[in-house]
Structure 1
Amino acid sequence: MDASLNIAVAAEFELCEKIAETLEQSELAIGKLSIVEIYPFDEEQGVRFNNKSVVQCSLEQVEWSEINYLFFAGDVEQLTSVAIAAESGCVIIDMKGVCAALSDVPVVVPTINESDLVELRQRNIVSLPDPQVSQLALAISPLLQTTNITQIFTTSLLPASYQNGETVNKLAGQTARLLNGIPLDDEEKRLAFDVYPQKTMALSAQFQKIFPQCNSVIFHAVQVPVFYGMAQKVTALWDYETEFQPQDNELIQYHDMNITPVINGERESGETQVKLHINPLSAVENGIEFWTVADEQRFNLAHLSVRLLEAIYHQGY
């Protein structure tokens, strides 16, 4: 394979670092990696790839026709630039499902529905769904191969990193202040030692793009005072009794003990293979329930996005 791929990343600094680390471990031969600063980096922040500093540039400086693939982890306000890049022939990997609502943009989770990548020809854009959706999809996929699920309920416990790096810094600052007896300002939104509900707009629609047969899936989400790592409690119901024998695979590891995203994230730090972790499955009436955890930055975003790029490349797009 020629080392001719020109890849760009448009994301926050911490996520750019994780994508670069994951790309180093991939089998893709990459000629050039660059950073598109849709979010400004601090002066001391710099990404390295294969022991070399990665070039950083602004949106206005990018020659999209020279870039083969773009990892995009921005928001709706930046979609105009994404459209320009796609029209120039650059294939866009929308990492957070921002484009997922567009009818001609496929929503793909690696190992589940990679055949849908054929739709890439329409816009040069593919969406990896929101991390809540990809985590649930991977956990549910083995069940769907043996059962006819009628309803799915999931509650996601969202860490500060699910929002952005600024939220992580706010949580750290608030935690330190409160532990030192310094009260927060009255108008300041409290993150430390508190929880509150989050809206889950369009997540069911993203899930049904992956599994059209699942027409009853409900997402709930709660913001929790954890820095990194997302957990989900999942209940799946069906019309008749069935047996399911869980088996580990390249993306999933089942456990016979209680697991937390914090502990598993620490254990996986620096490893070449991060996974989605699922604790013991418990039977309920006409169904099953279980608990899943993953490092939503390193696994749900960086690892799955690079796996998606590998699938795109090997299918010739």
Structure 2
Amino acid sequence: MLNIAISAEFSLAEKLIENLELSSLEIEKITAVEIYPFSEEQGLRFKNKSVTQIEVEKVDWSAFTYVFFAGDISKATYLAKAAESGCIVIDILGLCADIADVPVIIPNMNNNQLIELRQRNIVALPNPQVTQCALSIANIIKNLSIHQLTITSLLPASYENEESVTKLAGQTARLLNGITLDDNEQRLAFDVFPKQSINLNMQLKKIFSELDNIVFHQIQVPVFYGIGQLITLKSDYLIDPDIVIADWKDNEYISYHDEKVITPVTNSEVENSEAIPKLHISNINSIENGIQFWTVADEQRFNLAFMAVKLAELI
């Protein structure tokens, strides 16, 4: 029986618990360690029982079997303390993914690298952009030599944090009511802008070492939840779209749509009617010596919460 700690923003913590309730893990207790303090009205429940909430300064990390950790670089000392205390830390946001002896795992894709977990008691999911891309190209990489991979990621407000979701909603309401924004306020509503580059290439190469020419484009868009990616692969050989589609249809994590183009909004509508989130793929097209296609996933429900729980099951 497992004693699990969740250290994440409230919104993501809720989604982790939703997936833990559906998992095969035998859980005795879940505790919320508030690296980001919850508000008074925010409470978590696991199997109809209230989840204990602890301030991070008062926590004894050694009491837990697993820690689901979703903090930024400013919270890294807590992650280190948890790992040093002997519990297994699942680094949900890939905070430690750049460290050489921390395995970066996508469940059922590179499970063999889990042996490295014993080095630090830390295992990382890659950045959600990397997870989403890797799942869609895994079988293509396995069967063909790819000489160019380009990923254009359209990032929602939730990719940054839950505060950005609230800010986007507020700005949208103000602008629709004719209220201008402050000059020094970063505009999210009705606008797009490039995001600062992070080392996504290295994370993807930890999973697919054979990839060389990788380009990530990152653009912030006025969407609340859900990453959209336009992915282009080029090979020295022809890529048969029918074979690629057949592989997608055999993957339990993927839902392929022949006729309908799935967007972050339609994805959200689909996810609300399904217990298990998936990666949705559509709009595949052949190009010269390659293919191009469109993917969408709720990065919090699927790329982070669902995959983190699957990783815990795997461990």
Q: The TM-score by the shorter chain falls in which range?
A: over 0.9
What pairs up with 1:220-299 in 2 under 5 angstroms? 220-244=217-241, 245=243, 246-247=245-246, 248=249, 249-256=251-258, 257-269=260-272, 271-299=274-302
SS at match of 1:145: helix
Note if contact 2:223-2:264 (Cα within 8 Å) is conserved in structure 1.
no
Determine the C-alpha separation between the residues in 2 that align with 1:253 and 1:178.
36
| 1:174 alignment counterpart | 171
Misfit runs of 4+, over 2 Å:
none
Note if contact 2:4-2:29 (Cα within 8 Å) is conserved in structure 1.
yes
Note if contact 2:239-2:291 (Cα within 8 Å) is conserved in structure 1.
no
Q: 1:206-233 CA deviation, whole Å, 9 max, x = no partner? A: 0000111111111011000000111000
Note if contact 1:236-1:287 (Cα within 8 Å) is conserved in structure 2.
yes
| 2:28 alignment counterpart | 31
Determine the C-alpha separation between the residues in 2 that align with 1:187 and 1:280.
39
Identity within the alignment, %:
57
Query: Counterpart amino acid of 1:174?
Result: Q
Count of aligned residue pairs for this structure pair: 309
Query: Counterpart amino acid of 2:88?
Result: V
Q: TM-score, normalization: structure 2?
A: 0.96
Q: 1:220-257 CA deviation, whole Å, 9 max, x = no partner? A: 11000000111000000111223241232210111112
SS at match of 1:190: coil
Determine the C-alpha separation between the residues in 2 that align with 1:151 and 1:283.
15
Note if contact 1:228-1:295 (Cα within 8 Å) is conserved in structure 2.
yes
Shift of 1:270: 5.4
Determine the C-alpha separation between the residues in 2 that align with 1:190 and 1:234.
27
Determine the C-alpha separation between the residues in 2 that align with 1:151 and 1:101.
23
Shift of 1:40: 1.0
SS at match of 2:106: coil
SS at match of 1:34: strand
Determine the C-alpha separation between the residues in 1 that align with 2:186 and 2:77.
31
Choose 193-202 or 263-272, whichever is displaced more. Answer: 263-272
Q: TM-score, normalization: structure 1?
A: 0.96
RMSD: 1.0
Identify which of 290, 310, 313 aligns with 1:310: 313
Identify which of 2, 8, 11 aligns with 2:8: 11
Identify which of 44, 60, 70 aligns with 1:73: 70
Determine the C-alpha separation between the residues in 2 that align with 1:64 and 1:182.
47
Structure 1: gaps spanning 5 or more residues: 313-317
Q: 1:133-190 CA deviation, whole Å, 9 max, x = no partner? A: 0000001102112211111000000000000000000000000000111111111111
Determine the C-alpha separation between the residues in 2 that align with 1:242 and 1:229.
28
1:42 to 1:241, Cα distance in 2 relative to 1, 3 A: same
Note if contact 1:254-1:280 (Cα within 8 Å) is conserved in structure 2.
no
Note if contact 2:21-2:46 (Cα within 8 Å) is conserved in structure 1.
yes
